Amino acid sequence: MKRAIYPGSFDPVTNGHLDVVERARKLFDEVIVAVAHNDEKLPMFSLEERLELLNQTAGKIDNVRVTQFDGLLIEFARNEKASAVIRGLRAVSDFEFEFQMALMNRKLESSVETIFLMPKEEYTYLSSRLVKEIARLGGDVSKFVPAIVTTALGKKFKR
Ligand code: ADP
């Protein structure tokens, strides 16, 4: 059983994340989308909200499971008997941080490989941060996120 973890903040999940999930699930028997607990990024959506939005989207896809994790990613990967960590690469700007993380994780646990997947070109400029910014300013985000996320963002920014 080949299992991969796709970790992140998912604050909130976007079509870019879902594109990466679709690619990953073709390579592995199971993909675990894992929402990070210990988020220094001060998320807009609570852990429960982020999990709910993921459960209603990624969680509906075959051989994809949604869960949360706390502490070291590599420890979580070990407990789940995962052989790979999936990360999305959008642009060169993602590279430096991701490269550092991947090599550090390899030092911590050499049996877990980090695999980078590129989304469809139209998602390379998409980030949760930008989506939140557009929604905050009253723009239309429906092309970038699943419908339930558009609704959830609408509720957050109701004036
Ligand atoms: P983190 O806080 O760990 O960066 P994110 O939720 O922002 O969490 O992203 C999780 C993963 O998904 C990261 O590897 C990120 O590069 C990737 N990702 C985010 N948005 C996109 C996108 N539009 N296309 C491809 N990958 C993406």
Distance 90 CA to ligand 1 centre (A): 8
Ligand 1 pocket (Cβ < 6 Å) reads 8-10, 14, 16-17, 20, 87-88, 90, 94, 119, 123, 126-128
Q: Is 97 helix (H, G, I), strand (E, B) or coil?
A: helix
- Residue 114 bridge partners (DSSP): 85
Q: E strands along the chain, which residues?
A: 3-8, 30-36, 64-69, 84-88, 113-117
Name the token pair of 68: 């949360």
159 pLDDT band, cuts 50/70/90, is low
Check: CB of residue 9 under 8 Å from CB of residue 36.
yes
Options 3.40.470.10, 3.30.70.3150, 2.60.40.10, 3.40.50.620; CATH for 3-124 is 3.40.50.620
Return the C-alpha torsion angle 84, 85, 90, 94, nearest 10.
-120
Residue nearest (by alpha carbon) to ligand 1 atom 23: 16
Write the pLDDT tens digit of every residue in 41-91: 789 999 999 999 999 999 999 999 999 999 999 999 999 999 999 999 998
**pTM as predicted:** 0.95
- Active-site residue list: 17, 41, 90, 128
Q: Report the residue among 22, 90, 92 best suited for mutation to probe ligand 1: largest number of ligand atoms under 8 A from its CB.
A: 90
d(CA 158, CA 106): 44
Distance 86 CA to ligand 1 centre (A): 10
Share of the chain above pLDDT 70, in %: 98
